[in-house]
Amino acid sequence: MKKIGILGGGIIGLSSAYYLNKLGYEVTVIDQGNLSDGCSHGNAGMIVPSHFVPLAAPGMIAKGIRWMFDSTSPFYVKPRFDRDLIRWGYHFLRSATSAHVKRSAPALKELSMLSKSLYRQWKHDLSFDFGYQEKGLLMMYKTPETEHEERVTAHMAKEYGIEAHLLSATDVQQLEPHVKVDARGAVYFPGDAHLVPQMLLHGLIEWLKTKGVRVIDQTTIQDFEFDKARVTATRTSAGKFHFDELVVALGSWSGMIAKKLDLNIPMQAGKGYSFLVDDVSDRIRIPAILLEARVAVTPMCSSVRFGGTMEINGIDHTINMNRVRGIVNSIPRYYPEMKVEVPPKEKIWHGLRPCSPDGLPFIGRSKKFKNLTIATGHSMMGLSLGPATGMLVSELVENKKSSMNIELFEPNRF
First to last CA, the chain: 34
User: Using alpha carbons only, how large is the chain's radius of gyration in Å?
Assistant: 21
Query: What is the C-alpha to C-alpha distance for residues 34 and 179, in angstroms, rounded to an integer?
Result: 37
pLDDT tens over the chain, length 414 residues: 899 999 999 999 999 999 999 999 999 999 998 887 655 668 899 999 999 999 878 776 666 666 666 666 677 777 778 899 889 989 998 998 999 999 999 999 999 999 999 999 999 999 999 999 999 999 999 999 999 999 999 999 999 999 999 999 999 999 999 999 999 999 999 999 999 999 999 999 999 999 999 999 999 999 999 998 999 999 999 999 999 999 999 999 999 999 999 999 999 999 999 999 987 766 899 999 999 999 999 999 889 999 998 888 888 888 989 889 999 999 999 999 998 999 999 999 998 999 999 999 999 999 999 999 999 999 999 999 999 999 999 999 999 999 999 999 999 999
The answer to whether 45 touches 383, Cβ cutoff 8 Å, is yes
Give the 3-state secondary structure of residue 222: strand
**Domain membership flag for residue 188:** yes
Question: What distance in Å separates the CA atoms of residue 171 and residue 185, rounded to the nearest whole number?
Answer: 8
- The verdict on pTM exceeding 0.75 is yes
Cα distances (Å, whole numbers) of residue 271 to 3, 99, 241, 313, 397: 33, 28, 31, 7, 31
How many domains is the chain partitioned into structurally? 1
Instruction: Give domain status of residue 234, yes or no.
Output: yes
Residue 339 CA to residue 346 CA, distance in Å, equals 20
Q: Is 127 a member of any domain?
A: yes
Which residue intervals of 126-168 are DSSP H helices? 144-159
Across the strands, what pairs with 364?
374
Give the Å distances, CA to CA, from 36 to 32, 42, 339: 12, 10, 30
In a domain, 363, yes or no: yes
| 288 Cβ neighbours under 8 A, 6+ residues apart | 137, 138, 139, 140, 186, 296, 297, 334
- Provide the domain limits for residue 183: 3-409
CATH of the domain at 208: 3.50.50.60
- Kindly state whether residue 414 falls inside one of the protein's structural domains: no
At 183 the three-state DSSP class reads coil
